[in-house]
């Protein structure tokens, strides 16, 4: 093998950088192709007012949850309780509007985010200090929160007419043709992605996910970072819950069921390694877009309802196989580099 | 995280699993919330209502009707149910009800066969089984309370949509889950009715919203997107029609694409008033639950066995006769529109 690349960087980082670029470009390309195919088949997919709005709007709520999930996964944990957190917060949102007439919308948002953050804190503290795997803890909180939701909501539900009109307007409203929900989601994404990629604190999340023991030995405050990751994940799920109520208008005790897996799916498809330490929030965001856009595009491409879930499954497995191949290639390169030295 | 799990001792793993199971059990048992009636009445008739899922206003109303009837004849009423309308989610509730020695179980089946074994066990233990709203295969229950004949339901929805779109154009159906017994039967009959009497209406697609607000909402968006010439949507499920109405009301298609189907007045009121929906249909679910409770009592008391030709008294609704296959028919569907929706509150 010729040494084509100038050895300015160490080979490890060069290979890593290339791998990441390939990963995100790949799914971005897949997303663009799907949008193109659906648009060619039916121009209104992109060019009608509803089509354009829904293209941006539908994935926005999942995007928030997926970004939170990605932060947690990067620290080599997982938060399965986000779907239940979202559902409970959505119901809380409705109850606040019913029980406290005239409550300002901003207070409801703050309450939802705070509520999610508290749940995230409990999860994070249990994972960090009790040392029980996140999978188990958050599976437990998934059921506890859903149980609370059912006990609280019973067979009651929030109807669209219970929510103030201007609050529901947030769910469909647009500023300069961009849906408000999308603006919120993208702002959160930019802030979180910048923090994780460019700041010392952000890089520590990756360090912890790559090798928790090494991070501890190096003196990083591992527990604090892990709790932070869960708090952010929970807060974003809480925010998503408030937005869910605004967008869908009706909230029953089953709201948000299965979202945790969609969020994990979006992150994994977007190249966030489930074993922690690698991947970007941009990837997770594109993953969320891809996941939900595929659901909307497949019917237009004439693929039946029943096959849509299978396609999502194939995507997830494909993403993991791709990750594995990239990892193998990288370790082979590292070995070669070592031998030539 | 998986490696971490292995590295910890076996004991820790077992303890962790135990905790999870305990947590799961706590989560599940509280799913039985709602109007748990106690069941300690001592020898009286205990009737447990098991709807497809909780949080569904349709079943809230039918269960309220059931409760009214049970209180009239002095029995004990209980209501349990899963949060999600999935095929197997009702099994554990059936088993629990049977173990508690419930006199009769009144259930709306999420799947015609998946809960069959559990129902059979319950009946072997002496519990009478009445299905309402959605039936199982006949061998698994004693009586089915049919809200309206499938033909009547299919016809009223086809008539409504035909009237609203001027008897021509493309229509689509937004259903509940793909294996929901009653929806599938209605859809088949709607197709026949359309072919026979409405040659200018084309049914272009049937999509499934799984009786979930969000899924139904997104499916509606996809339908409007996929078929730009769509003239109308029929949604034979209360969750579906409300979600579709909500999407339509904020869409560029509001007022252009007609929407009808089966809905409840409280959920549809806003959309009838803002002009998104002209008219929709339903029977009175309170009467349905009421009749089911009386049928359950008649079975428990031994007044009827579910044979064709058996008759029983159902309080304010009068006398009913059991038809072929143990089916009791409630009556004709009712049409709701802007003029009469104010008279109803369920």
**Quick check: is A5 in a domain?**
no
- Among chain A residues, the shortest Cα distance to B211 is held by A254
Q: Which residues of A touch B173 (CB under 8 A)?
A: none
In which domain, by residue range, is A47 found? 24-34+43-323
Label residue B34 by pLDDT band (50, 70, 90): very low
**In chain A, which among 18-47 make CB contacts under 8 A with chain B?**
42, 44-45
Q: Pick the residue with more confidence: B56 or B163?
A: B163
**In chain A, which among 300-329 make CB contacts under 8 A with chain B?**
300, 305-306
Are residues A150 and B30, on separate chains, in Cβ contact within 8 Å? yes
Q: Which residues of A touch B20 (CB under 8 A)?
A: 136, 139-140
**Quick check: is A244 in a domain?**
yes
Count other Cβ atoms within 10 Å, centred on residue B256: 12
- Among chain A residues, the shortest Cα distance to B2 is held by A133
Facing residue for B226 by CB, picked from A42, A153, A255: A42
Our CA-based measurement puts residue A140 at a distance from the nearest CA of chain B, in whole angstroms, of 5
A91 touches chain B (CB under 8 A): no
Count other Cβ atoms within 10 Å, centred on residue A1: 7
**Quick check: is A10 in a domain?**
no
Label residue B340 by pLDDT band (50, 70, 90): confident
Label residue B16 by pLDDT band (50, 70, 90): very low
Tokens describing residue B223: 């339908």
Count other Cβ atoms within 10 Å, centred on residue B195: 11
Tokens describing residue B330: 């409630």
**Quick check: is A13 in a domain?**
no
Q: Which residues of A touch B4 (CB under 8 A)?
A: 133
Query: What is the rounded CA–CA span in Å between residue A120 and residue A71?
Result: 12
Q: Pick the residue with more confidence: A282 or A306?
A: A282
Per-residue pLDDT at B8: 43
Query: What is the rounded CA–CA span in Å between residue B85 and residue B216?
Result: 14
Tokens describing residue B130: 């009445």
What sections of chain B are H helices per DSSP? 2-7, 10-29, 57-72, 91-99, 116-124, 150-164, 181-197, 213-226, 238-249, 265-273, 285-300
Q: Is the pLDDT of residue B40 over 50?
A: no
Tokens describing residue A80: 């399965």
Mean pLDDT of chain B: 84
- Among chain A residues, the shortest Cα distance to B34 is held by A154
Q: Is the pLDDT of residue B10 over 60?
A: no
Query: What is the rounded CA–CA span in Å between residue A341 and residue B183?
Result: 70
Per-residue pLDDT at B180: 83
The residue behind tokens 């986000």 is A82
Are residues B28 and A147, on separate chains, in Cβ contact within 8 Å? yes
| All structural domains of chain B | 1-28 (no CATH), 33-147+285-330 (3.40.50.2300), 150-282 (3.40.50.2300)
Q: Which residues of B touch A294 (CB under 8 A)?
A: none
Total beta-carbon pairs less than 8 A apart between chain A and chain B:
156
Q: Which residues of A touch B59 (CB under 8 A)?
A: 155
Q: What is the pLDDT of residues A33-71, one digit of tens each?
A: 999 999 998 888 888 888 888 899 989 999 999 999 999
Our CA-based measurement puts residue B309 at a distance from the nearest CA of chain A, in whole angstroms, of 36
B18 touches chain A (CB under 8 A): no
Count structural domains, chain A. 1
Q: Find the CATH number of the domain harbouring A140.
A: 1.10.3470
Q: Is the pLDDT of residue B56 over 90?
A: no
Q: Which residues of B touch A139 (CB under 8 A)?
A: 20, 23-24
Question: Largest Cα–Cα distance of chain A, in whole Å?
Answer: 73
SS3 for B148-184 is CCHHHHHHHHHHHHHHHCCCCEEEEEEECCCCCHHHH
Q: Which residues of B touch A295 (CB under 8 A)?
A: 218, 222
B278 sits in which H/E element: none
Per-residue pLDDT at A254: 85
Are residues A296 and B225, on separate chains, in Cβ contact within 8 Å? yes
Please answer whether residues A85 and B287 qualify as being in contact, where contact means their C-beta atoms are separated by less than 8 angstroms. no
The residue behind tokens 């499934």 is B208
Q: Which residues of B touch A155 (CB under 8 A)?
A: 34, 51, 54-56, 59-60, 63, 79, 81
Are residues B246 and A160, on separate chains, in Cβ contact within 8 Å? yes
B2 touches chain A (CB under 8 A): yes
Please answer whether residues B42 and B53 qualify as being in contact, where contact means their C-beta atoms are separated by less than 8 angstroms. no
Per-residue pLDDT at A14: 52
Q: What is the pLDDT of residues A165-174, one digit of tens each?
A: 889 888 888 8
Facing residue for B33 by CB, picked from A140, A151, A160: A151
Among B209, B268, B267, B266, residue whose Cα is nearest residue B240: B209
Are residues B60 and A155, on separate chains, in Cβ contact within 8 Å? yes
Strand partners, B334: B282
Our CA-based measurement puts residue A257 at a distance from the nearest CA of chain B, in whole angstroms, of 9
Task: Specify whether the backbone of A207 is left (phi greater than 0), alpha (psi in -120 to 50) or beta.
Answer: alpha
**Quick check: is A194 in a domain?**
yes
Q: Which residues of B touch A161 (CB under 8 A)?
A: 269-270
Mean pLDDT of chain A: 88
Q: What is the pLDDT of residues B169-179, one digit of tens each?
A: 999 999 998 88
Please answer whether residues B209 and B240 qualify as being in contact, where contact means their C-beta atoms are separated by less than 8 angstroms. yes
**In chain B, which among 72-131 make CB contacts under 8 A with chain A?**
79, 81, 83-84
What is the DSSP track for B48-89?
Answer: EEE-S-SS-HHHHHHHHHHHHHHHHTT-EEEE---SS--TTT
Q: Which residues of A touch B57 (CB under 8 A)?
A: 157
Among A45, A48, A27, residue whose Cα is nearest residue A35: A45
Q: Looking at this predicted complex, what is its ipTM?
A: 0.72
Per-residue pLDDT at A155: 66
Facing residue for B54 by CB, picked from A141, A155, A255: A155
Please answer whether residues B53 and B85 qualify as being in contact, where contact means their C-beta atoms are separated by less than 8 angstroms. yes
Among B284, B293, B283, residue whose Cα is nearest residue B313: B293
**Quick check: is A19 in a domain?**
no
End-to-end CA distance of chain B: 49
Tokens describing residue B166: 């001027």
Dihedral angle at the C-alpha atoms of B215, B220, B224, B225, nearest 10 degrees?
-10
Are residues B31 and A45, on separate chains, in Cβ contact within 8 Å? no
The residue behind tokens 């349905």 is B288
SS3 for B261-274 is EECCHHHHHHHHHC
A199 touches chain B (CB under 8 A): no
A210 touches chain B (CB under 8 A): no
Are residues A255 and B23, on separate chains, in Cβ contact within 8 Å? no
Share above pLDDT 90 across residues of chain B, in percent, rounded to a whole number: 49
Handedness of CA A41, A46, A51, A54 (dihedral sign): positive
Q: Which residues of B touch A159 (CB under 8 A)?
A: 266-267
Strand partners, B234: B173, B260
* Averaged pLDDT for residues A19-38: 81
Query: What is the rounded CA–CA span in Å between residue B309 and residue A140?
Result: 52
Among B120, B122, B153, B126, residue whose Cα is nearest residue B139: B120
What pTM was estimated for this model as a whole? 0.74
Tokens describing residue B293: 């409770």
Q: What is the pLDDT of residues B93-106, one digit of tens each?
A: 999 999 998 999 99
């Amino acid at each position: 093998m010729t040494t084509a690349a100038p050895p300015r960087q160490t080979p490890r980082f060069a290979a890593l950088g290339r791998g990441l670029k390939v990963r995100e470009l790949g799914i971005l390309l897949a997303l663009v192709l799907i949008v193109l195919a659906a648009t060619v088949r039916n121009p209104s997919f992109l060019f009608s007012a509803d089509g354009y709005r829904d293209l941006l709007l539908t994935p926005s709520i999942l995007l928030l949850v997926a970004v939170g999930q990605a932060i947690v996964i990067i620290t080599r944990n997982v938060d399965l309780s986000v779907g239940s957190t979202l559902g409970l917060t959505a119901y809380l949102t409705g109850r606040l509007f019913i029980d406290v007439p005239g409550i300002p919308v901003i207070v409801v948002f703050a309450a939802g985010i705070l509520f999610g953050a508290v749940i995230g804190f409990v999860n994070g503290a249990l994972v960090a200090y009790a040392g029980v795997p996140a999978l188990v803890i958050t599976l437990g909180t998934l059921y506890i929160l859903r149980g609370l939701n059912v006990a609280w909501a019973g067979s009651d539900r929030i109807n669209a007419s219970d929510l103030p009109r201007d609050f529901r307007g947030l769910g469909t409203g647009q500023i300069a043709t961009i849906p408000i929900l999308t603006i919120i989601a993208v702002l959160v994404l930019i802030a979180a992605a910048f923090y994780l990629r460019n700041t010392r604190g952000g890089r520590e999340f990756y360090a912890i996910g790559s090798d928790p023991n090494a991070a501890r030995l190096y003196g990083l405050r591992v527990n604090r970072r892990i709790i932070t990751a869960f708090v952010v994940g929970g807060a974003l799920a809480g925010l998503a819950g408030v937005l869910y109520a605004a967008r869908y208008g009706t909230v029953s005790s089953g709201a948000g069921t299965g979202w945790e897996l969609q969020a994990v799916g979006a992150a994994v498809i977007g190249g966030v390694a489930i074993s922690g330490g690698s991947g970007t929030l941009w990837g997770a965001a594109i993953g969320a877009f891809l996941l939900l856009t595929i659901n909307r595009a497949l019917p237009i491409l004439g693929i039946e309802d029943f096959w849509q879930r299978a396609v999502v499954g194939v995507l997830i497995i494909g993403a993991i196989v791709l990750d594995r191949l990239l990892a193998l290639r990288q370790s082979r390169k590292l070995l070669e580099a070592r031998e030539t030295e | 995280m998986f490696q971490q799990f292995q590295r910890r001792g076996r004991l820790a793993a077992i303890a962790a699993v135990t905790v999870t199971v305990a947590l799961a059990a706590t989560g599940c048992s509280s799913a039985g919330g709602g109007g748990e009636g106690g069941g300690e009445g001592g020898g009286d008739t205990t009737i447990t209502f098991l709807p497809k899922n909780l949080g569904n206003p349709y079943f809230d109303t039918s269960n309220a009707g059931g409760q009214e009837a049970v209180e009239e004849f002095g029995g004990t009423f209980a209501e349990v149910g899963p949060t999600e309308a999935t095929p197997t989610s009702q099994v554990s509730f059936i088993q629990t009800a049977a173990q508690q020695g419930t006199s009769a179980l009144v259930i709306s089946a999420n799947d015609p066969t998946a809960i069959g074994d559990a129902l059979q066990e319950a009946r072997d233990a002496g519990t009478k089984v009445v299905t309402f709203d959605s039936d199982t295969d006949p061998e698994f229950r004693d009586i089915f309370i049919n809200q309206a004949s499938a033909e009547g339901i299919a016809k009223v929805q086809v008539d409504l949509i035909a009237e609203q779109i001027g008897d021509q154009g493309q229509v689509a159906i937004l259903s509940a889950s793909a294996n929901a017994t009653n929806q599938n039967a209605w859809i088949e009959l709607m197709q026949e009715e359309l072919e026979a009497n409405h040659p200018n209406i084309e049914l272009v697609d049937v999509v499934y919203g799984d009786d979930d607000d969000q899924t139904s909402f997104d499916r509606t968006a996809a339908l409007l997107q996929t078929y730009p010439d769509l003239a109308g949507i029929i949604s034979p499920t209360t969750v579906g029609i409300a979600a579709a109405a909500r999407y339509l009301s904020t869409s560029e298609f509001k007022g252009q694409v007609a929407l009808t189907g089966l809905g409840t007045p409280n959920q549809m009121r806003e959309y009838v008033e803002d002009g998104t929906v002209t008219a929709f249909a339903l029977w009175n679910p309170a009467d349905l639950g009421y009749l089911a409770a009386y049928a359950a009592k008649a079975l428990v008391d031994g007044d009827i066995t579910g044979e064709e030709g058996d008759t029983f008294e159902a309080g304010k609704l009068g006398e009913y006769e059991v038809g072929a296959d143990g089916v009791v028919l409630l009556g004709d569907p009712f049409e709701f529109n802007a003029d009469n929706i104010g008279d109803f509150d369920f």
